[in-house]
Amino acid sequence: MAYFERLSALDATFLGLEDERTHMHVAATLLFDAAPLRASHGGLDIDRIRAFVESRLAGIPRYRQRLAWIPLEGHPVWIDDARFNLFYHVRHTALPRPGEERQLKRLCGRILSQKLDLTKPLWEFWVVEGVADDRFALIAKVHHAMVDGIAGMDLLIALLSAAPQHDFTPAPPWRPRPAPGRAELLLHALERHGEAARALVRKTGEAVRDPVRTVAAIWETVGGIAEALAPGNVPASPTPLNPDPGPHRRFDWLPMDLRAVKEVKRRLGGTINDVVLATVAGAVRRYLRGHGVDTRGLDFRAMVPVSLRRPDERGRLTNRVANFVAALPVGDDDPLVRYRRVVEATTSRKASPIVRASELVEEVADWTSSLWLTQLVRFAAARRAYNIVVTNVPGPQAPLYLLEAPLRAAYPMVPLFHNQGVGIALFSYDGGLFWGVNADWDAVPDLHDLVEALRAEFDVLRELAVSHAPAA
């Protein structure tokens, strides 16, 4: 029987947003100890690594599926890839000696600058040996149409294990299901539109029977949508971090002790995400002032994705997020004032109807067309509704292993949109908080200065927290 699966409107939007300068893949650079996976010839046992990855693909079938499009409607669906080739997706390379961190970061930037091939399954793993300190890297690149941050973390857990393992069950033979024909896809679209019409009739009947509840729900939704669109009505301030990006990327990173971050939160109040946003606010202030920008009165905003994923949705490789826009107080010179203003801003967002509005927008787009949702996101980016994306994904707090090789660090990457030269993603794992900073190659040639500013500003917060009693 022919198989296909329709992409959600939000998943399809990430395809619609992609162009030659806007690459809509998410990624992560994972660092492992190399010695446990060294072959007799002295290099990594890449054949064993490939065989292990292949053995895991049965549990994540999306990774052997490619895109097809419904005739006339043009909406994408997933179908099995009859020509799936593991060697195309699991790639092997090495750094030249001495394999220092800077060389690895440059390689990451080059890999992140390349779009994924939309005619193949939308992922690549680059296994990089020759990394200093007897390590190797796995650069994982996956299209945002497949995963959000939480789903990407679920995928990481699916590929890795909680204890070293030597043996694994080889992958069964891959037998792709038949792809649907054009007529079958078109019939599916017509049936969906018919169901949408019937659902509208049912909703209308429910509205008539309970008008008070209906008006209240509409009012809440309209308020949420208005709040979601409001930042685009008045653009954020232009800064050197907000060019129209080109196709080339830089990638840098920063590890932190998660215990130290939690201690700042414990003493100053708020959440871990508040510590992150206050650190970003101080670092951006430091960076902009270093470039001669007067930060007084600057309206600098961060878009902060928030997961809508319920516990029963863990493991599903789809996007389930809402996006909040929070003002970062880069104009305040007092770090404690900046911190308190960040906490106030994020606290006020928790009571916002924007989450339900985001869900409704996606539901409507699912039953109509993802095109208008794509245009809505493009509008927000074109109007410079925000200056930077900051996304924080919680991960497991126990060690993970690729076969016998322990994972030592994991630096995530968030893609850049229009009018955005820098994006910051964070991943917490095994007592560490790992910052990945993605940037346009030409707009931010001194990206490491911004990374060092993040380090310096967190040190400021940590020193400030020492003099404060724990928050109630």
Catalytic hit among 23, 75, 89, 144:
144
What is the per-residue pLDDT across 116-165, written as a single tens digit (0 to 9) for each?
999 999 999 999 999 999 999 999 999 998 876 455 665 666 789 999 99
319 pLDDT band, cuts 50/70/90, is very low
Task: Please tell me if the domain spanning 5-159 has the same topology as the one spanning 225-395+411-466.
Answer: yes
Three-class SS string for 237-300? CCCCCCCCCCCCEEEEEEEEEHHHHHHHHHHHCCCHHHHHHHHHHHHHHHHHHHCCCCCCCCCE
The answer to whether the beta carbons of residues 325 and 304 sit under 8 Å apart is yes
Q: Which CATH architecture has domain 5-159?
A: 2-Layer Sandwich (3.30)
Supply the pLDDT for residue 161: 92
Which residues, 6 or more positions from 469, have their beta carbon under 8 angstroms from its beta carbon?
267
> Above 80 in pLDDT, residue 232?
no
Determine how β-strand 123-131 pairs with β-strand 90-94. parallel
Which residues, 6 or more positions from 205, have their beta carbon under 8 angstroms from its beta carbon?
none
Domain range summary for the chain, segments of one domain joined by +:
5-159, 225-395+411-466
Tokens 């911190």 identify what position?
A: 339
The answer to whether the beta carbons of residues 399 and 432 sit under 8 Å apart is no
Please give the C-alpha separations between residue 419 and each of 93, 167, 437, 440, in angstroms, as whole numbers: 33, 48, 16, 11
Look up the CATH superfamily of 225-395+411-466.
Nonribosomal peptide synthetase, condensation domain (3.30.559.30)
> Above 70 in pLDDT, residue 455?
yes
What is the per-residue pLDDT across 68-92, written as a single tens digit (0 to 9) for each?
999 988 899 999 999 999 999 999 9
Q: Which residue did the predictor score with more confidence, 216 or 428?
A: 428
> Above 60 in pLDDT, residue 176?
yes
144 among known catalytic residues = yes
